């Protein structure tokens, strides 16, 4: 489990749904309470969706301290939702250079009464020199509208990234 801050940007417009603005922050606790320490190095990427992904690691490259990614979730209703996910992750990087984490949260209630829940999974591997990270991130968001009683499942699919120091 990793701490994740999330923002949904935009509004959902579909014939069967009212406009459901999705702007909010959901957080979960860091499982082991580790802190970032020195700022370390920053790795950056542009995903195949054309969106940014950033990873901050400690100077010794044994811990990911922050992550940020923008994902485009395609919804069953046919619309898309832009999701910005990230936070203070405290993900351990194994001796082999691998890491993985997952997080879920919600429901988060919006001003219009709609609510959303989410789940994220991230995994990756550093190259031998630890100057590049290849990996994947997937987000699934479920948005419920209490006025219409309808829900919409939105999924980014598995989004790959190659982040470079």
CA-atom Rg of the chain in angstroms: 17
Q: What percent of the chain lies above the pLDDT cut of 90?
A: 67
Residue 159's φ and ψ, nearest 5 degrees, are -100, 125
- List the chain domain ranges: 5-11+41-164
Residue 52 CA to residue 46 CA, distance in Å, equals 5
More confident residue, 36 or 112: 112
pTM attached to this predicted model: 0.77
Residue 87 CA to residue 55 CA, distance in Å, equals 10
Residue pair 80/71 in contact (Cβ under 8 Å)? The answer is no
Could you report the per-residue pLDDT of 82-124, keeping only the tens digit for each? 999 886 768 999 999 999 999 999 999 988 899 999 999 999 9
Sign of CA dihedral 119, 154, 123, 57: negative
């Amino acid at each position: 489990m990793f701490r994740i801050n999330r923002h949904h940007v935009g509004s959902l417009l579909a014939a069967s749904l009212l406009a459901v603005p999705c702007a909010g922050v959901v957080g979960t606790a860091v499982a082991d309470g580790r802190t970032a320490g020195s700022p370390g190095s920053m790795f950056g990427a542009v995903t195949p969706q054309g969106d940014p992904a950033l990873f901050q690691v400690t100077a010794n490259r044994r811990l990911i301290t922050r992550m940020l990614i923008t994902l485009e979730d395609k919804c069953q209703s046919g619309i898309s939702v832009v999701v910005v996910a990230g936070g203070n992750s405290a993900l351990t990087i194994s001796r082999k250079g691998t890491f993985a984490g997952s997080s879920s949260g919600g429901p988060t209630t919006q001003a219009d009464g709609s609510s959303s829940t989410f789940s994220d999974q991230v995994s990756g591997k550093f190259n031998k020199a630890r100057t590049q990270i290849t990996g994947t991130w997937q987000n699934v968001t479920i948005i419920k509208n209490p006025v219409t009683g309808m829900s919409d499942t939105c999924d980014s699919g598995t989004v790959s990234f190659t982040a470079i120091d």
